[in-house]
Amino acid sequence: MSRILLLLENSENRRLVAALLERRHELVYTPVPEALFDLAIVDGPSLKTHCDYLLIHKQEEEPVLFPVLLVTLRQSVHLFSGPLFKLVDEVVLTPVEKVELFARVEMLLRARRLSLELRLRKDDVEAFIHAMTHDLRAPLRTVTGFAEAMAENQSSRLDAAGKHQLDRIQAAVGQMWELIESLVEFSRIGRKAIKLKNVNLDELVQLCLDEMRPEIEGQRAAVQVKGELGTVEADPALLKIAIHNLISNGVKYVKPGVEPRVEIWAEHHNNTACIMFRDNGIGLTADDLQRIFAPFVRLHGVEDYPGLGLGLSATKRVLEIIGGQIGVSSTPNQGSTFWIELMAGGAQ
């Protein structure tokens, strides 16, 4: 049985809706702090009265859907615009048709149940990753300790082949630690509350470049920002992950002996901003373009290009969370141009 918050100030509509739903669902007529509801049914006056409560409830439930159904006159629909209408997931016009109302209610409750199931599955995956990485760390610490002890105490007794094998063991252990930490970080993306706000791209890109300076200088790379980038609506911490990954890929994936070049610029169209990242790297085939955003997809051996195949999948996930998109155009041996599209920032 679902719990429905029925906030209709029109007494006749409230009576009709209650008579239709009370046999199948639990109805509550007063907002209760901290209470859990599967659906809220409101009319115009109650939407305005309880908008703060509904907004807080929606935010606390995210990413689970807390649906709101508005019952209103046809001629009044245009009054609910802007931030107020963002609270509403479905509208039923009065006079209320019982069949339509029942169908809308059941549809929203089904969407609520599906979002709850997805959240539970996501929590199960995160719990599995946490347990797996926890269990892996213990034997890996043992291997790490013995390898370090051998390198410190037994290296003089090893011949060239033995030292080479020990180096391979330590390198493999290092890759395993990197894999564990990457899995943990990947599972954490989007777990914290997302706060979209105006983000100054020029400042954020410069922050990424400052933090990546050792990597950029180590690759003898040149990263150029062309013109002003402007502002976008995003979560700055998540967008930083995406920008960092795209610059890092442009610096990393070049042919031996080639000095990497990455150009960054922005194109603005109406209410959207497209940030472009063009490199002179090894490029991608048409088949590669279909696979690169999937987790753990590596197109090259680790001996050629280090990494675990999580960078682009994390970038795509980040952009989905903040309402953006990512794409790429590329030609083998001629470089790639990645782009990310977001809503342009508004006036402060």
Q: Which amino acid is at 31?
A: P
Q: What is the DSSP string of 273-303?
A: EEEEEEE-S----HHHHTTTTSTT--SS-TT
Helix (H) or strand (E) holding 200: strand 197-200
In which band, very low, low, confident or very high, does the pLDDT at 26 lie, cut at 50, 70 and 90? very high
| Model confidence pLDDT, tens digit, residues 165-193 | 888 888 777 767 766 765 666 666 655 56
Which pLDDT score, from 0 to 100, does residue 339 have? 93
| Contact status, residue 262 vs residue 279, Cβ threshold 8 Å | yes
Which pLDDT score, from 0 to 100, does residue 307 have? 56
Q: Which residue has the higher pLDDT, 326 or 289?
A: 326
What is the rounded CA–CA span in Å between residue 311 and residue 292? 9
Q: What is the mean pLDDT of residues 325-343?
A: 91
Which pLDDT score, from 0 to 100, does residue 260 have? 93
Nearest Cα to Cα of residue 239 among 295, 331, 314: 314
Which pLDDT score, from 0 to 100, does residue 348 have? 46
In which band, very low, low, confident or very high, does the pLDDT at 306 lie, cut at 50, 70 and 90? low
- Give the DSSP letter of residue 86: G
Which pLDDT score, from 0 to 100, does residue 63 have? 73
Residue 343 has pLDDT above 80, yes or no: yes
Q: What is the mean pLDDT of residues 227-232?
A: 92
**Residue 215 vs residues 56, 80, 101, 307, 336: alpha-carbon distances, Å:** 43, 51, 59, 14, 20
| Contact status, residue 314 vs residue 241, Cβ threshold 8 Å | yes
In which band, very low, low, confident or very high, does the pLDDT at 5 lie, cut at 50, 70 and 90? very high
What is the rounded CA–CA span in Å between residue 9 and residue 96? 15
The C-alpha angle with vertex 187 and arms to 186 and 190, in degrees rounded to 5, equals: 90
Which pLDDT score, from 0 to 100, does residue 179 have? 64
Residue 66 has pLDDT above 60, yes or no: yes
The residues near 208 (Cβ < 8 Å, ≥ 6 apart) are 240, 243, 244, 247
For 243, other C-beta atoms within 10 Å of its C-beta total: 22
Helix (H) or strand (E) holding 188: helix 160-188
